Amino acid sequence: MSESEKNAPAGGEKNKFYERTPYFLLFAAALQLILGFLLLAFPDMLSGVLGTVGVALLVIGVFLFLRYFIKKGYQKRNDYSFSFGLLLMIAALGVFARNSYLMLWVPGIMGALVVVTSMVRIQCAVDGLLMKGKYWFIHGITAIVACVMAYFLISGNTVYVASGMVDKYVCIVLLLDAVFNIITTFLMYVEDGTDEKERE
């Protein structure tokens, strides 16, 4: 029995987290690319980002809310699409109602998004390290770099705020993290394909 066969999950089933991670990272990358390029093309549109976020929360919330009834989620254990959908719709209404107040938190919100995707990449790095993967260090390095850059967004560091570089800095961080997410997704698919060939 080869080393890859020994490390393979029992029953040939893939790790569920590892299997779903690429979809989450690709979705996050798409969102970051859209926001990043919009900020690049329209430097003064940061105030409109919250409106976009509010619309996105409302759409996702309505989708989850309706999905609960259409897919009969009440017949399934641990299906929280109803509560999550309702929560997202309430959050969207809050964004619409307090747009000007929440504007001050936009850089921090963008930084928090980067931190979330970075934590996922750190999880990929740990998984790869424990499973003797080839690219775990790349996932880890990109996560650390993104977290350091996001720190300045979350902390509201005056270095870039005073120089009027908020919009550009947010744009750079979002686009860079999107590239990191795409790289991680690509490497995960490459490594997964290599492991399948070794098991054959």
Looking at the structure of the chain, the number of domains it has is 1
69 lies in some domain: yes
- What is the pLDDT at residue 39? 77
Q: Report the pLDDT averaged over residues 24-45.
A: 82
The per-residue pLDDT for range 83-115, each reduced to its tens digit, is: 888 888 998 888 777 766 766 777 788 888 899
For 176, the domain range is 19-193
On whether the CB atoms of residues 92 and 54 are closer than 8 A, the answer is yes
7 lies in some domain: no
| The model scores a pTM over 0.75 | no
96 lies in some domain: yes
Sign of the dihedral defined by the CA atoms of residues 122, 29, 116, 17, in that order: negative
Buried b (16+ CB within 10 A) or exposed e, 110-119: bbebbbebbe
84 lies in some domain: yes
